[in-house]
Amino acid sequence: MDIFKKCEDYYSLVKRVKDEGYYPYFIPIDSQPDHDVVINGKRMIMLGSNNYLGLTADPRVKEAAIKATEKYGTGCTGSRFLNGTLDIHIELEEKLADFFHMEDCICFSTGYQTNLGAISSLVLKGDYIIADKLDHASIIDGALLSRGSLKRFAHNDAESLDRVLAALPDEGGKLVVVDGIFSMEGDVAPLPELVPVCKRYGARIMVDEAHSVGVMGATGAGVVEHFGMGDEVDLVMGTFSKSFASLGGFIAGQEKVITFLRHNSRSLIFSASITPASVASALKALEIIISEPERREKLWGNTRMMLAGFPALGYEIGTSATPIIPLHIGDDMKTLFFWKELHHAGVFVNPVLPPAVPPSKSLIRTSYMATHAKEELRRALDIFEEVGMKTGVL
């Protein structure tokens, strides 16, 4: 059998969906990713971005990227391990370690590579990784790349985690990994319930703060800070592609652990390092996150408005309590039709279909920014009401 046969079958499916006008992916945006965007010459309200603080359009962040390019050039031409480390890489890592009150930090080229490199390096043969069933794909892929055993526990369920850990042998290391904010559900990991369970069984815990840095916590350091558990969480991971308005990833923890990762993470050693522009953007964004808490306050004002507005219209938003607000639709085609009508009406959102969600659990993922104006969000709610009635979702 030709190994490309599967590609032909898949191509036919994608082509049919495109021909019928329901293909929602790889849509080119003609403007900077801000609270509104231009697509095919049409300005749309952007409710499908992870740009929570709106910093991708901030002139200070853009200026930092330009100045770094002028000084260092466009790329580093090698991995961090060899010739790809600049002084600003070290500066960023030191400032992130301070920000998270950790001993050390290492930056990777993407958030995905961070989880792959950290988990696959730490979890070896005879070890266990225990993941929330709704953890991000990068966590699961890191577990699958490791030589250890992957175990899963029910979403945000400390009793389920207890049962899983209790069933494991005493020998062998144990790493529990959870998202801080879950990227599709918009709910928060209950760390005050999970961490004591980990301690009881001698398991280390790692929190993926990709969607929560800049969003939660007194200084914006994420869910760990929000719950005041910095002294009890072992590793904090995050990305630069969301609140940091850049590209890359990082993990912070004990110096001896980060030193081990620095010398053993294959996705770090065998990938080119983050470009100077990306590093400088992340540095400037971190400075703004720390110095301008009012951005976070504005984000949460917008979030509270939408968390109240959607249920008032009759939408089911599940357990969301953050700027990620899913609208649970269920049927795949109804979800795609709903997305298409929203798109035509000038609202950009993301349809999420199986296998990203369980069968018959399709949803529309919406997310919010500090730079959204209240009038803009009121207009969006009016469109959601109109389209919901038109499509039978409401």
Beta strands in the chain (DSSP E): 36-39, 42-46, 104-108, 128-132, 149-153, 174-179, 204-208, 235-239, 249-253, 324-330, 347-348, 350-352, 362-367
Integer Cα distance of 129 and 350 in angstroms: 30
Specify whether 242 is catalytic: yes
- Per the residue annotation, which of 226, 242, 343, 361 is the catalytic one? 242
- What Å distances lie between residue 97 and 43, 286, 350, CA to CA? 40, 12, 33
Specify whether 211 is catalytic: yes
Q: Rounded to an integer, what is the distance from CA 258 to the centroid of its chain?
A: 21
Integer Cα distance of 353 and 51 in angstroms: 22
- Per the residue annotation, which of 138, 183, 273, 362 is the catalytic one? 183
Integer Cα distance of 291 and 293 in angstroms: 6
Q: Which two tokens stand for residue 77?
A: 């031409």
- Per the residue annotation, which of 136, 211, 343, 361 is the catalytic one? 211
Q: Which two tokens stand for residue 287?
A: 């400075």
Angle subtended at Cα 7 by Cα 6 and Cα 9, rounded to the nearest 5 degrees: 65
Helix axes 111-122, 255-264, angle to 10 degrees: 100
Integer Cα distance of 312 and 329 in angstroms: 16
Specify whether 246 is catalytic: no
Helix (H, G, I), strand (E, B) or coil at 29: coil
At residue 112, what is the residue type?
Answer: Y
Q: State the DSSP H helix or E strand holding residue 388, giving kind and residue range, or none if neither.
A: helix 374-391
Integer Cα distance of 216 and 390 in angstroms: 36
Residue 204 and residue 148 in contact, taking contact as beta carbons nearer than 8 Å:
no
The 3-class SS string of 4-21 reads CHHHHHHHHHHHHHHHCC
Considering just the CA atoms, what is the radius of gyration of the chain in Å? 21
Integer Cα distance of 93 and 179 in angstroms: 21
| Residues carrying an active site annotation | 183, 211, 242
